[in-house]
Homo-oligomer: A and B are copies of this chain.
Amino acid sequence: REKFQSISAADFFYRNREIAGFDNPVRATYTIIRELVENALDACEQYSIPPDVRTKLIDEGNSIYRIRVEDNGIGVPYDQVPYAFGQILFGSKYTLRQSRGIFGLGGKMAVLYGQITAHSSVKVLSSTGGFEKYFYELNINVQENKPIIRRKEVTPNPGRWRGTIIEFSFEGDYIRAKPKVVEYFRQTSILLPYANILFIDPDGTLYRFDKITDEMPKPAETVKPHPYGVDLEIVHRMINATRSSTMVDFLVNNFHRVGAATAMNFLKEAKISQNANPRTLDSKDLLRLVNKMKEYDGFQPPDAQCLSPIGEELLKKGIIREFRPEYVAVTQRGASAYAGYPFIVEAAIAYGGDIPITPQDEMLVFRFANKIPLLYDLHSDVTMKVIKKINWQRYRLDLSSMPLAFFVHICATKVPYKTVGKEYIADRPEVEYEIEWALKTCARDVRNHLAKKEKADIVQRR
């Protein structure tokens, strides 16, 4: 009576693409640019390559646009290209390390959108800097979620070029999307004073953000899971894959910052034998292990090697370049964690210069997550919740009469996005707490500057 069927992950995201940010041609134009530029920036920063990302959007008429993004990043290995761009839920960012990408979905959704609205295939040219470079023309077989290789060419790479060029057409609406697209590039460059970012739009306008420093943040390193982030599924997988024959070895080899002494202490408290073979634990033991792990307070907190914050100096440089403010207060909080996932909040408040005075309900708030600018759903976001909560008068900051701009950057191994389209961030209490303290620290700093300035003015007038 009921007709049962299973569908592939590609079919699911094809049918429900508005959930991934592809609601309509305006939003799709923005999302496509965002997804491709973020892939390019990840490919550079992960390997300490000063990013050089060039985006071109051409109007082909009939609402069809052609997008081309070129980067000087690490490139995509020859045999992975078809899957990287043609199979949904495939990628290299499923590890515990900060990166813009996390779902293994974004680039493919962009390609899929071009395929269904403009019958376009995607052209990818890439090289990892070796003797050859390779070109692919691909489509996605949606029902089976696998790539369709239309064309494949391997050519010599005498210049040892390394990078990726991706190009395809799609149905868009640049006229309506333009303000958000331009703002996306502008905000991206605020956090990346060490990157060359170029955008040529369909009107031929060149938007260019040249780097002003060679200094880059240290890249994030992949870490093992932290005990506080554990659940039964993770532990099951670890046990199935482990070669450790004792529980102490198992814990030391599989978890972040767990040494032999800590492991032995913990196992004693969890009443699990230190020499037991992990594979002999029954489901009662496993449940007790997981629950005890989450509450044992003898574990070292997660450290920040898996994160790559911008840093106070670079953040300041980026803000100064864009706004030339009279004063910028920046702060980077220490590493914190929610559910075992480490994160760091960086914040800034800038005053004066090119910053306009805005009405209180139109405050200038710039939000970033893993260096991705968030331009939608401000009022659902945790940052806005915190800003509304803070009593700014305590810091003698009058939001309605002073030229102020607020910046909040959250970097995490797992950003608590509420949506697949990465629009805004859920309000985790630990994250909320860190944002609040970061902003208050900056507020105090700005207040002190304004107080000094006021004093100096008074002295001067006498």
Which A residues are closer than 8 A to B by beta carbons?
1-9, 11-12, 14-16, 18-19, 23, 46-47, 74, 77, 80, 83-84, 87, 89-92, 94-95, 103-104, 115-119, 128, 142-143, 231-233, 237, 283, 286-287, 377, 379-380, 416-420, 426
Q: In the assembled complex, how far is the CB of residue A316 from the closest CB belonging to chain B, in whole angstroms?
A: 31
A–B Cβ pairs within 8 angstroms, 11 of them: A2-B46, A4-B80, A6-B83, A7-B94, A9-B12, A12-B103, A19-B418, A19-B419, A116-B233, A117-B232, A143-B237
Query: Which residues of the other chain, B, contact A16 by a CB distance below 8 angstroms?
Result: 103, 420
Pair A3/B92 contact, Cβ less than 8 Å: yes
Q: With A116-B233, A231-B116 as given contacts, are A6 and B87 in contact (CB-CB < 8 Å)?
A: yes
Partner of A92 from the list B2, B15, B83 (CB cut-off 8 Å) is: B2
Pair A6/B104 contact, Cβ less than 8 Å: yes
Pair B83/A4 contact, Cβ less than 8 Å: yes
Pair A2/B420 contact, Cβ less than 8 Å: no
Query: Which residues of the other chain, B, contact A116 by a CB distance below 8 angstroms?
Result: 231-233
* Extra contacts besides A5-B94, A420-B420 (12): CB < 8 Å: A4-B90, A4-B92, A6-B83, A7-B90, A11-B89, A16-B103, A18-B416, A19-B418, A19-B419, A142-B233, A379-B379, A379-B380
Partner of A232 from the list B115, B283, B377 (CB cut-off 8 Å) is: B115
Give A419 to B16 CA distance when docked, in angstroms: 9
Query: Which residues of the other chain, B, contact A90 by a CB distance below 8 angstroms?
Result: 4-7
CB closest residue in chain B, given A19: B420
Query: Which residues of the other chain, B, contact A283 by a CB distance below 8 angstroms?
Result: 119
Query: Which residues of the other chain, B, contact A74 by a CB distance below 8 angstroms?
Result: 1-2
Pair B91/A4 contact, Cβ less than 8 Å: yes
Pair B119/A232 contact, Cβ less than 8 Å: yes
Partner of A8 from the list B11, B19, B89, B237 (CB cut-off 8 Å) is: B89
Query: Which residues of the other chain, B, contact A142 by a CB distance below 8 angstroms?
Result: 233
Query: Which residues of the other chain, B, contact A104 by a CB distance below 8 angstroms?
Result: 6-7, 12
Query: Which residues of the other chain, B, contact A83 by a CB distance below 8 angstroms?
Result: 4, 6
Query: Which residues of the other chain, B, contact A19 by a CB distance below 8 angstroms?
Result: 417-420
Give A89 to B143 CA distance when docked, in angstroms: 12
Give A46 to B419 CA distance when docked, in angstroms: 30
4 interchain residue pairs of minimum CB distance: A2-B92, A6-B90, A9-B9, A119-B287
Give A115 to B283 CA distance when docked, in angstroms: 11
Pair B426/A18 contact, Cβ less than 8 Å: yes
Query: Which residues of the other chain, B, contact A46 by a CB distance below 8 angstroms?
Result: 2
Query: Which residues of the other chain, B, contact A89 by a CB distance below 8 angstroms?
Result: 6-9, 11-12
Give A419 to B423 CA distance when docked, in angstroms: 11
CB closest residue in chain B, given A379: B379
Pair A233/B2 contact, Cβ less than 8 Å: no
Q: In the assembled complex, how far is the CB of residue A294 from the closest CB belonging to chain B, in whole angstroms?
A: 11
CB closest residue in chain B, given A423: B418
Q: Which of A95, A116, A416 has the most CB of B within 10 A?
A: A116
Query: Which residues of the other chain, B, contact A115 by a CB distance below 8 angstroms?
Result: 232-233
Pair A23/B233 contact, Cβ less than 8 Å: no
Q: In the assembled complex, how far is the CB of residue A234 from the closest CB belonging to chain B, in whole angstroms?
A: 9
CB closest residue in chain B, given A79: B4
Query: Which residues of the other chain, B, contact A287 by a CB distance below 8 angstroms?
Result: 118-119
Query: Which residues of the other chain, B, contact A80 by a CB distance below 8 angstroms?
Result: 4
CB closest residue in chain B, given A104: B7
Q: Which of A6, A84, A283 has the most CB of B within 10 A?
A: A6
Partner of A3 from the list B18, B95, B419 (CB cut-off 8 Å) is: B95
Give A6 to B11 CA distance when docked, in angstroms: 16
Q: In the assembled complex, how far is the CB of residue A228 from the closest CB belonging to chain B, in whole angstroms?
A: 14
Give A426 to B17 CA distance when docked, in angstroms: 13
Give A313 to B170 CA distance when docked, in angstroms: 46
CB closest residue in chain B, given A240: B143
Give A295 to B287 CA distance when docked, in angstroms: 58
CB closest residue in chain B, given A9: B9
Q: In the assembled complex, how far is the CB of residue A112 from the closest CB belonging to chain B, in whole angstroms?
A: 9
Query: Which residues of the other chain, B, contact A420 by a CB distance below 8 angstroms?
Result: 16, 19, 420
Q: Which of A119, A233, A283 has the most CB of B within 10 A?
A: A233
Give A379 to B19 CA distance when docked, in angstroms: 18
CB closest residue in chain B, given A93: B2
